[in-house]
Structure formats: C-alpha cells, structure tokens
C-alpha cells in the first residue's frame, strides 16, 4: 500500500470518529479487507482499496444527507405540515437506517395524526437503535397520551434510570401518576423535576395543578407564583391562581388576576369563550367581596371603592 493510500485511510478514520460509531465499524471492516493485502496482486489491491473507500464515502455522504432530511422533517412538523414531515423522515430512514432521530421524528408525526400503532413501532425502533433515556422518555410519553398508563410507567422509569439528571422523565411520570390518581407519587416526581430545572414552567405548572386538585391552595399559589414569575403573561396560571385566591377569600388578589386574564384573552372563538367564563368568575368574586365588606363597613358607600 502506498503512503498516499495510508494517509487517505487515516483521514477517513478521523472523519468517521467525528461522525457515528457505525462508521468506525466500517473502518474496521476496511482494515479486515486490507489485512492480507500483501498476498493480493497489485491491480486487485488497488481495486479492493478503491471499492472500500467508495463504500465509506457513500455511507458518510448518506449520513449527512439523512441529517438534512431530519432537520427539514422537524421544520415541517413544527409548522404542522405533517404529510411533508413524514416524507422527510422516511427519506432520512432510507438513507441512514441507523439514525434513531429519524424514527423518533416520524413517530412524533404519527402520534399527532392518531396513527398510534405506527407511532409505537417507530418509537420502539428508535429504542432498539439508541436505548437512551431520551428515547424511552419519548415512548413513555406516547403511551401516556394513548392511555397505556402501565406501559408509560415502565418506559419512564427506565428513562429515569438511564437519565437521572433530566427533569423531563420525572415530569412525564408525574403526569402519568396524576392520571392514575396517585397524587402522592405525582407530587414527588413533579418536585424532583422542578428541583432539577427551577426555570421549567411546565414543572411548576404541573406541581401547582396537583396542589390545586388536592385543594392545598396556599401551596398551589406558591407554584403558580413561580410560573408567573417566569412568564407574566401565562393566562392559565393567572386564572388558576385567581381561583385559589377566591377560594381563600383573598378576593382583591383574585380580582386582579381575573382582570389580567381578560386582557390577555385572544380574539379567537376559544379565547372569547374563556373570557366570558373569567368575566363570570370576576363578577362572582366581586359579589363575594361585597358580602365580606358589607359586614365590615357600617356605611355601604365606604366599600364601593374596593369593587372598582
């Protein structure tokens, strides 16, 4: 083998190491092919060498192309153009069947389209290729949305074992336990998710909702405070915090939260429907406040300023 050929192989080794482990396997195959090269006629040596090099270059090229299709697939998915997303992820799989992201991406699309069997099949393939906490978390979340709660617990428990420092499997398994009405386990896992990522609004929201369901309104308010601290325009958090304040007879605080929610409601049908509900809550809270203040003030005119 010439010095140039040796240098080419070394360069390919370096490139492959920066890519995927499968390319390292290809290089090992190449070494095996060239192991007894001294026993092969010089013309056959060159032919074997050229074929091996072409195969590796093609594999590397396919890997790069597949990544581009995965990227496009995600863009289409985010834009809710699901048909085009499936086309891109499927092409990525054709080019590189060992890329777990291609299967996970396509599974996400199938789940959105309620093609659940296809979704689980692709999530499972992704796990076979890359049995990581991320892939188990993905399939566990899918089982949750499909109502397969026992299977969700199994996958998310494995995700936590493999990725104990990630807040996402804790948050997801918390949702699953909440769905199973095991609020103790749900709270335990939501608290863990929040401790791992104190700026995760979803974690605080989930924890607040558990406290709300348990009618522990003071603790719920603390969690909703953190959500609103991170996003002051979170209308859902403001609404539920307002309800908590109303339940605790903190009517002034409830009124302020309901007013803010009404300002934030979008003009679409769903937003306007929610706005009407919040307006009812506001008026109801004002009536509660009025009844409280009437008992405190001898002159009815004195409490009117509190209701503005």
Domain coordinates in residue numbering, the chain: 232-308
Quick one: pLDDT at residue 272? 75
Residues 53-102 pLDDT 10s? 555 555 556 788 889 999 999 999 999 999 999 999 999 999 899 899 99
Quickly list H helices, 79-99: 82-95
Does domain 232-308 bear CATH number 1.25.40? yes
| Residue 234: CB atoms within 10 Å | 20
Whether pLDDT at 203 is above 90: no
Residue 43's contacts (CB-CB under 8 Å, 6 or more residues apart) are none
CB 177 within 8 A of CB 189: yes
* DSSP code for 308: -
Residue 262's contacts (CB-CB under 8 Å, 6 or more residues apart) are 275, 278, 279, 282
Residues 103-148 pLDDT 10s? 999 999 998 998 989 999 999 999 999 999 999 999 999 999 889 9
3-state secondary structure at position 80: coil
């Amino acid at each position: 083998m010439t010095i140039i050929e040796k240098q080419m192989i070394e360069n390919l080794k370096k490139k492959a190491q920066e890519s995927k482990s499968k390319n390292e396997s290809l290089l090992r195959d190449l070494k095996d092919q060239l192991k007894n090269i001294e026993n092969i006629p010089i013309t056959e040596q060159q032919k074997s060498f050229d074929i091996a090099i072409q195969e590796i270059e093609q594999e590397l090229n396919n890997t790069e192309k597949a990544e581009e299709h995965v990227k496009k697939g995600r863009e289409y998915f985010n834009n809710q153009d699901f048909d085009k997303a499936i086309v891109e992820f499927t092409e990525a799989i054709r080019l590189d069947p060992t890329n777990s992201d291609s299967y996970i991406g396509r599974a996400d699309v199938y789940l959105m389209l309620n093609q659940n069997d296809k979704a689980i099949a692709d999530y499972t393939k992704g796990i076979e290729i890359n049995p990581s906490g991320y892939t188990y978390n993905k399939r566990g979340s899918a089982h949750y949305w499909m109502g397969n709660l026992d299977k969700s617990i199994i996958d998310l428990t494995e995700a936590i074992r493999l990725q104990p420092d990630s807040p996402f499997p804790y948050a997801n398994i918390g949702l699953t336990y909440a769905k199973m009405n095991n609020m103790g386990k749900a709270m335990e896992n939501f608290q863990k998710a929040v401790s791992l990522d104190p700026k995760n609004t979803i974690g605080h929201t989930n924890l607040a909702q558990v406290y709300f369901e348990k009618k522990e309104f003071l603790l719920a308010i603390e969690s909703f405070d953190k959500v609103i601290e991170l996003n002051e325009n979170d209308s859902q958090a403001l609404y539920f915090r307002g309800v908590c304040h109303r339940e605790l007879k903190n009517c002034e605080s409830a009124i302020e939260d309901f007013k803010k929610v009404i300002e934030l409601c979008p003009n679409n049908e769903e937003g306007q429907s929610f706005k009407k509900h919040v307006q009812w809550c506001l008026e109801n809270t004002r009536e509660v406040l009025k009844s409280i203040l009437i008992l405190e003030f001898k002159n009815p005119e004195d409490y009117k300023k509190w209701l503005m």
